[in-house]
Structure 1
Amino acid sequence: MLKSVKNKLPIPSVGMLDALNPFKVKKQRIMNFNPATGVSSRKPSECSKVTVFDYNGSECTEKVLSSLEETFVYRDKPTFTWINIDGLRKEDVHTICAHFIIHPLIEEDILSIGQRAKMDEIGERLFCLLPMMYFNKETSTIDQEQVSIVMGKNFVISFQEDPTRDVFDPVRDKLRIPGSRIRNGTMDFLCYSLLDVIVDNYFQVLDKLGERIELMEDVVQHEPNTRTLARINFLRRQVFLFKRGIAPVRELVNGYLKSECDLLEDNVTKYYKDVYDHIIQCNDLADNYRDMILNVQDLYHSQLNLKMNEIMKVLAVVTTLLTPLTLIAGIYGMNFHNMPELESRNGYFYTLGGMGLLLILMIFIFRKRGWF
């Protein structure tokens, strides 16, 4: 995959990598982790959107609701329902959790900030929380959005922070197709489908990071300067953020595989196993990219040392060439009275000629030895 991308990319210049300039991006806090969920500092979303897919094998109804109260009728309906809430507000989350009998601990996790990916089974509800990753092309940064998914017997409720984007369109398209596997499946299959598209999107983010790491390898060879080092550190920071976000997702999916909850059917376990395999591959790729960016940093230092060695080599050659000439000039510049050469009529020209011949001879020897 990396070789095919590299063959399509031209040799980059500084202008081609302006997006990797860390000085144009607001510094991110990579150590932001707040496990305390009792007191949430989350700001309420300015806008909120509630969409509902109510379906069975033969019918599917898609609605955009104007209020949360309209979702209450779907709790006990015999059909299957996916309720997606874009934009989190504390009052809205509390209202829907109270009606759908969702434990207060789950409600706190939904409203938390910087929460580690996790999976819980409380009562008759299965809950998971994980990051949804996006690659921002304008700033070359990785944006994260916390997604919470609650599964009941005949409903799945997903909570998203950002009402303007998500990666669930493939799931929506499958729900609109009569007779599709997701239409004929149960809620555990819908939950699997949501997890699957989130994990699959991780690979797209990794592809973008891989392209920029390869570009950086070429830049290091052509422009090993302090600005390039800043870009390497910036890119390493993004890889670290990505790795830290997806690492716990592996245990999250493993929790579904080990769960004995009645909401999970045995014939759906193989699908969760597929997601588990994907997240393992994703973690392995993230580790490889982390090693690659460290190798790029080592390459930068090697190029810098090579450049410094070349400079020192030139200075050493110049110094060596001038040393004997300086010695000769120093000897004849002592102005002693008993120096016969000082009385020579053409001594000045003989001395300059000898110094020139010596210089040419030394240059010839150095070139023959390959010193420059």
Structure 2
Amino acid sequence: MRKKLPNLKYPKRLKIKKHKIQNQIPGQITFIGEKTTDVTEIDVISYNVDRVKYHYNCTVDKVVELVTHEKDFKHWINFSGLHDVEKLGNLGKSLDIHPLVLEDIANTKQRPKLDEFDDYLFMALKMLYYTTENIFVKEHFGIILHDSYIITFQQHKDDVLNFVRERVQNKKGRIRTHNTDYLFFAIVDAVIDNYYNITETVEEKTEFLEDKILSDANNASSTEIQLLKREILSIRKSVAPTKELINRLQNSKHKLFDKSTRFYLADLYDHILQVTENVDIYREITWGLLDMYMSSISNKMNEVMKVLTIMSTIFIPLTFIVGVYGMNFEYMPELEAKSGYFIVWVVMITITILLIFYFKKKKWF
């Protein structure tokens, strides 16, 4: 017979968080995440072998016009500010993007994923970087590959793609001479390469904390270690699924990928594999840091307790002697001795010296 469970009540201060995605109609575009004050903008870089044109703060109609009429160019469309779901929906409807894809783009909690369609391919990633104030940022990032254009979706204007833009502008590398699949690779490669910078920063933080604990554990704190652990877990949640996506991308037979680009995808998988291994290593090291910190604090406490114990042990016989002669009995022969006071002092000093010598011999301090 099933036992009836007690009625558990949460304390008033505890708020149960619920995702907005609950009870949502599939394909309904709802922004899920932290809203920012960023203004939604659509910027387009149109390029071919000979020319590059920039179109800033475009309307959806302008984007459709560029894609439809300027067939001699390939277009990199960058949509920043995912909170404007109306503009996102209009762009998706105009370019015939599936509503479920738009739903995943607007959901900043969406884990990395890869969806393949007949005419295009969608990939969701996490863009990781540190700001100039050394604040860790995990940004939801989506990218759509089409034969004539690329669309990137970002939460903010800041990103790690400036090097790719420079390559397009200055005609460095193969981007302007290849199809859009190579630009897709270059963008994903830039995001993953920046994971290396993230792991290097994590390594520096880990080594700094380790040296801090080894030199003096009192200078460190468990809060610092817990924050680093949380940061590494956040990185791992972003990087680990990406390895599976790159593997799927490498083995994909989609028509949009040229044979030459597939070789670069294989190199991309090696990069993400190395990053994943590094993150796992630092995760294990951080777990060890907490044990090291607790052991150091415990050893410090043991040292303090040992000193206090030795001092207490030395004063026990002295307290006993003083207590005996502190009793005010009338008949105590030692009280009438002229040198009794000095004899008691000699006895107490002798006991102290003998106890210290004994503790030294036992190597207790």
- Check whether TM > 0.5: yes
Task: Summarize the Cα distance change of 1:34–1:113 in structure 2 as closer, same or farther, 3 Å threshold.
Answer: farther
Deviation at 1:335, TM superposition (A): 4.9
Counterpart residue identity of residue 49, structure 1: E
Alpha-carbon distance in 2 for matches of 1:207, 1:247: 17
Which amino acid letter does the alignment assign opposite residue 171 of structure 1? V
Report if aligned partners of 2:212, 2:219 keep a CA contact under 8 Å in 1.
no
8 Å CA contact 1:141, 1:238 repeated in 2 = no
Code of the residue aligned with 1:128 in structure 2: it is: M
Q: What corresponds to 2:276 in structure 1?
A: 283
Q: Secondary structure at the match of 1:262?
A: coil
Of 48, 66, 70, which aligns to 1:74?
A: 66
CA contact (8 A) 1:192 1:271 kept: yes
Alignment pair present for 1:209 and 2:199: no
Q: In 2, are the aligned partners of 1:32 and 1:114 still within 8 Å (CA)? A: no
CA distance change for structure 1 residues 162 and 326 in 2, over 3 Å: closer, same or farther? same
1:327 aligned residue (294, 314, 320):
320
* Matches of 2:211 and 2:219, distance apart in 1: 15
2:29–2:102 Cα contact (<8 Å) kept? no
Corresponding residue number in structure 2 for 1:149: 143
Are the equivalent residues in 2 in contact too, given 1:33–1:114 (CA < 8 A)?
no
SS at match of 2:30: coil
Could you tell me how far 1:254 is from its partner in structure 2?
1.7
Deviations 1:284-327 (A, max 9, x none): 11111111111111111111111011011101111121122223
Matches within 5 A, 1:305-344: 305-335=298-328, 339-344=332-337
Distance (Å, rounded) in 2 between the aligned partners of 1:178 and 1:222: 51
1:149-198 CA distance string (max 9 Å, x none): 111111111111102x1111111111123473111111111100000000
- Please say if residues 219 and 228 of structure 1, whose CA atoms lie closer than 8 Å, have aligned partners that are also in contact: no
**Aligned with 1:263: secondary structure?**
coil
1:34/1:114 contact within 8 Å kept: no
Distance 1:241 1:35, change over 3 A: farther
Of the three residues 123, 128, 133, the one matched with 1:133 is 128
Q: By how many angstroms is 1:363 displaced?
A: 2.0
CA contact (8 A) 1:81 1:155 kept: yes
The Cα offsets for residues 29-77 of structure 1, whole Å up to 9 and x where unpaired, read as xx99776674624458641232222222233223324322111133341
Measured against aligned partners, the alpha-carbon deviations of 1:86-129 in whole angstroms (never above 9, x if no partner) come to 22321221222122221111111111121000010123110001
User: Aligned pairs, how many?
Assistant: 340
Between 352-361 and 55-64, report the one with greater CA deviation. 55-64
Alpha-carbon deviation of 1:251? 1.6
* Whole-angstrom CA distance in 2 between matches of 1:94 and 1:321: 81
The structure 2 residue matched to 1:273, chosen from 266, 278, 300, is 266
1:24-103 aligned at under 5 Å gives the runs: 38=28, 40-42=30-32, 43=35, 46-76=38-68, 77-88=71-82, 89-103=84-98
**Shift in CA distance, 322/354, structure 1 to aligned 2, threshold 3 Å:** same
Match of 1:182 among 150, 163, 175: 175
Residues 141, 154 of structure 2: 8 Å contact kept: yes
Native 8 Å contact 1:57 1:179 kept in 2: no
SS in 2 for 1:295: helix
Match status 1:358 vs 2:351: yes
Question: Structure 1 length as normaliser, TM-score?
Answer: 0.84
Identify which of 254, 277, 285 aligns with 1:292.
285
Partner of 1:84, secondary structure, is strand
Q: Equivalents in 2 of 1:141, 1:300: separation in Å? A: 24
CA separation in 1, counterparts of 2:154 and 2:20? 19
Given that 1:35 and 1:114 are in contact with CA atoms closer than 8 Å, whether structure 2 keeps it comes out as no
Alpha-carbon distance in 1 for matches of 2:210, 2:178 = 47
C-alpha change, 1:137 and 1:361, in structure 2 (3 Å) is farther
- The 1:347/1:180 distance shift into structure 2, 3 A limit, reads closer
Which stretch shifts more, 308-317 or 218-227? 218-227
Tell me how far apart the structure 1 counterparts of residues 231 and 172 of structure 2 sit (CA, whole Å): 41
Distance 1:158 1:124 in 2: 17
Distance between the aligned counterparts of 1:322 and 1:371, measured in 2? 17
Aligned partner letter, 2:110: Q
Cα displacement string for residues 218-268 of structure 1 (whole angstroms, at most 9, x for unaligned residues): 222345349711111111111111111222111221221122111111211
Letter matched to residue 81 of structure 2: G
Match of 1:219 among 212, 220, 223: 212
Is the contact made by 1:34 and 1:113 (CA closer than 8 Å) also made in structure 2? no
Provide structure 1 residue ranges, at least 5 long, that are not aligned to the other structure. 1-30
**CA pair 364-46 structure 1, distance change in 2 beyond 3 A:** closer
**Which residue of 1 is the match for residue 101 of structure 2?**
106
Summarize the Cα distance change of 1:366–1:304 in structure 2 as closer, same or farther, 3 Å threshold: same
Q: What code does the residue aligned with 1:122 have?
A: F
**Equivalent residue letter for 2:40:** S
How far the C-alpha of 1:336 sits from its partner, in A, is 5.2
Contact 2:30/2:85 (<8 A) preserved: no
Quick one: distance in 2 between partners of 1:39 and 1:73? 24
